[in-house]
Amino acid sequence: MEAGTEFVPSDFTRLSRSPRPVFKRKVYDDIFQGRLSLALAQVEGVKVYRFSVLPKGESAMPSTHALAPGSDIAFDVLEGDARLGLAKVLSGCTFQQSLRARFEFSFPLAKTACCLGLGERYSSLNLRGARHTLCSTDNPNHDESSDSLYKAIPFSIFLDDGLASACFLDSSAPQIYDLDSELDGQVRIELLSARGFSFYYFDRAPLAQIVAAYTALTGRSELPPRWALGHQQSRWSYPDAETVRELAREFRRRRIPCDTLVLDIDYMDDYRVFTSDKGRFPDFKGLIEELARDNFRLVTIVDPGVKLDKDYKIYQEGLKLELFCRDAKGEVFVDRVWPGRSVFPDFQMEATRKWWAEKLQFYYDNGVSGIWNDMNEPAFFDTRFIPVSSFDELPETGEQPFLQRDDADGEPTTVGHLEVRNLYGSMMCEATYNAALAARPGERPFVLTRSAFAGIQRHAAVWLGDNKSWWEHLRKSLPMLLNVGLSGVPFAGVDIGGFGETCSPEMLLRWYEVGIFFPFFRNHCWLKGRAQEPFAYGAAVEEKARRLIELRYSLLPYISGLFHEHRQTGAPLMRPLLYHYPQDAMALNCHDQFMFGADILVAPVMERAQTHRYVYLPEAGSQWTALAGDKTYEGGRSHYLDMPLGTCPAFVREGAILPLADAMQSTAEYEQAAITFKVYGQQGSAVFYEDDGKSFDYKEGGFAQWQLAYSEGFLSRLMGGHYKTSRRYFLQKPDGSKIPVQL
């Protein structure tokens, strides 16, 4: 096609009156005149090429904060024409600058390749056949026709013939990934930016190794505090102290395990961040102490929007210190969010992040255990969607909604908001994480976020925003979480029961059946639907929900081990079947099942009135055992299984040894709980990990990592660390008998 011509897929599209922009593909000449370089590093055994682009007129590469600080990955600059070099290593890849603020990469995609990653996509597991725009967007009504969502993680993976390659486009500006949407066998990546950036290409390797290399570059999660792995109960909103007390009492009285209660926006004084409402929460600190005596933690929501109120200290201070975002005329940018007219901290500046971290001490002083950062795309009620996918290039700085100041490299430079929008949530989380460390040195922070960029795993857990109590959203939570995990973020979940609309008892149970395997395990919903706590639907539902939640707690030793594994290898906790069975054709297209670590396969029911489903169990010749009930099934084929409500839809691999804790009401009882090593099959082996669950001592040997094996007898060998507990351990043999064992 010639430069300047326009490609419109069909006349019908041209005539369509859809409010979504008509997809146009223009062909432009290359106008690039800046500097390019190609460099190579070996990361986790993967060849990683870095193609750096500095457009003409730009003096330095901006930092996107995506790379893990201190990671000592040394890239060797490769001599020669960088563009030719790239075309060679990523076969047939072309690069060009098409307009002042638009860059393009394009390369062929193998016919059979499956596309994965890209953070949070409303999609089945394979992202192929669609355009995917990365521009952080608050879309509480997302469905199949939605594109950008809350997170923007520009890490795309291409799996073909058992091996994967991947691209990481390290720029916080909007990006559009066309993954063969026109069935022409091409990947086209558009970056709408005028700034410099790096494009990393990960050469073919096993998928697990690719994820290891990406997370070596962008960092891995520290171990979360154990309490944050327990059951969390949230609602928009528990409006006053008495409701919160009652909630706590109900959980304990009914013996439904729970660690954390969450306060949504109504704890604040008219939605002013860093306040609590004196009328409804007369003794905020006292309430938190009281809850702590009953082993409950409190997490509070914190939104970035600061209420525009001239009598509000935080507003006055931020204004005086010039920490709020301003428009091109120099006026402070104002938009509406929950507090009404609000202003927005410029988290791109270190001074703002420090200030915010200081202000957050309000929560830690009151005894709050964790912070939930919401609305941090940032979301605006007036400026709702930014139609990025219809832009040919990024608008000029002065035409963007507002400006930010970027001081990552010393002196602040002014930058249009859209250049750094995808980073806003992550920068807020960095401030929050540092605030937690400052308040409680030595304690593992818990930060939860809705918006995120690459590298977020270093500072926060994520949930996938406003889903609905729809079966389709229950189903979608699997592929969505799987792609989030492959994008480097292990600590992830969705609102159990669904956030919007109304959850039926059946749906709640089905959601808990799979939700006990979400790394982040929280029930949350809005104020309009019916109550959604596990005891809100009568005795029969409550009993089933209790058993499922108890099962989650019994899996905590295994889950802790998976987080430890993530730290070592970058592996997510929830993994698509293809992660472990890349040569298995059935595993490749499976997005309604997943692996929870290498040992547990989860195949939930996600349809209304469905009581059976086909479960595909890989590996011919092996056996799988139901996690609850102990029935065994052959691997290498599908089974049509009876799955009544309240079922645990999980199967354990033959040869595994699962560490299972005794029942508990909260993780405060974890230290005392006995752990049983249950052998699946006639013999098995496992790595068992434990530590104190709260400090960073594990970084200095304060952990114990054991190699366990069982065939005729039981063997344990300490592989590392010196952590000791006084708990009791048991072995459950293949014949079901249980004996005490020593570690």
Instruction: For residue 45, state whether it binds ligand GLC (rule: CB under 6 A).
Output: no
Least Å distance, CB 644 to ligand GLC, is 31
CB of 44 or CB of 377, closer to ligand GLC? 377
Least Å distance, CB 424 to ligand GLC, is 15
CB of 465 or CB of 635, closer to ligand GLC? 465
Q: Is 466 a catalytic residue?
A: yes
The residue from 265, 428, 429, 648 that contacts ligand GLC (CB under 6 A) is 265
- The active-site residue out of 203, 335, 374, 691 is 374
Least Å distance, CB 499 to ligand GLC, is 6
- The active-site residue out of 178, 377, 419, 592 is 377
How far is Cα of residue 643 from the mean position of the Cα atoms in its chain?
A: 29
Least Å distance, CB 469 to ligand GLC, is 13
Q: Round to whole Å and give the CA distance between 312 and 320.
A: 12
The residue from 103, 453, 499, 706 that contacts ligand GLC (CB under 6 A) is 499
183, exposed or middle or buried, with CB in 10 Å at 0-12, 13-18, 19+?
exposed
Number of residues that bind ligand GLC (CB under 6 A): 11
Q: Round to whole Å and give the CA distance between 542 and 254.
A: 9
Instruction: For residue 466, state whether it binds ligand GLC (rule: CB under 6 A).
Output: yes
SS3 of residue 215 by DSSP = helix
What six digits make up the tokens of 462? 């994520």
Least Å distance, CB 449 to ligand GLC, is 11
The residue from 147, 178, 374, 565 that contacts ligand GLC (CB under 6 A) is 374
Restricted to residues 130-159, the positions that interact with ligand GLC (CB under 6 A) are: 140
Taking phi first (over 0 means left), then psi (-120 to 50 degrees means alpha), and beta for anything else, what does residue 285 get?
alpha
- For the chain, first and last CA: distance in Å? 69
Q: Is 374 a catalytic residue?
A: yes
CB of 526 or CB of 729, closer to ligand GLC? 526
Instruction: For residue 654, state whether it binds ligand GLC (rule: CB under 6 A).
Output: no
- The amino acid at 59: S
Q: Round to whole Å and give the CA distance between 393 and 375.
A: 26
DSSP letter, residue 113: -
CB of 176 or CB of 263, closer to ligand GLC? 263
The residue from 203, 264, 335, 550 that contacts ligand GLC (CB under 6 A) is 264
Least Å distance, CB 519 to ligand GLC, is 18
CB of 268 or CB of 436, closer to ligand GLC? 268
Q: Round to whole Å and give the CA distance between 656 and 200.
A: 37
* Tokens 């993994």 -> residue: 575
305 and 325 in contact (C-beta within 8 Å)? no
Least Å distance, CB 375 to ligand GLC, is 6
Least Å distance, CB 374 to ligand GLC, is 5
The residue from 227, 236, 238, 281 that contacts ligand GLC (CB under 6 A) is 236
- The active-site residue out of 264, 466, 654, 691 is 466
Restricted to residues 501-560, the positions that interact with ligand GLC (CB under 6 A) are: 524
- In the bound state, the residue with its beta carbon closest to ligand GLC is 236
The residue from 65, 132, 188, 450 that contacts ligand GLC (CB under 6 A) is 450
Rounded to 5°, angle at Cα 352 from 350 and 355: 110
CB of 92 or CB of 140, closer to ligand GLC? 140
Cα→Cα distances 489→68, 119, 198, 219, 521, Å: 14, 8, 21, 10, 15
Least Å distance, CB 388 to ligand GLC, is 21
CB of 205 or CB of 452, closer to ligand GLC? 452
709 and 721 in contact (C-beta within 8 Å)? no
SS3 of residue 500 by DSSP = strand
Q: Round to whole Å and give the CA distance between 151 and 136.
A: 5
Q: Is 147 a catalytic residue?
A: no
176 and 389 in contact (C-beta within 8 Å)? yes
Q: Round to whole Å and give the CA distance between 721 and 706.
A: 9
CB of 28 or CB of 381, closer to ligand GLC? 381
CB of 139 or CB of 560, closer to ligand GLC? 139
Q: Which helix (H) or strand (E) holds 190?
A: strand 186-191
Instruction: For residue 446, state whether it binds ligand GLC (rule: CB under 6 A).
Output: no
Cα→Cα distances 5→15, 20, 571, Å: 19, 22, 45
Restricted to residues 277-336, the positions that interact with ligand GLC (CB under 6 A) are: 301
- The amino acid at 625: T
SS3 of residue 693 by DSSP = coil
Rounded to 5°, angle at Cα 107 from 208 and 570: 15
Instruction: For residue 222, state whether it binds ligand GLC (rule: CB under 6 A).
Output: no
Catalytic residues: 374, 377, 466
Sites of contact with ligand GLC (CB under 6 A): 140, 236, 264-265, 301, 374, 450, 465-466, 499, 524
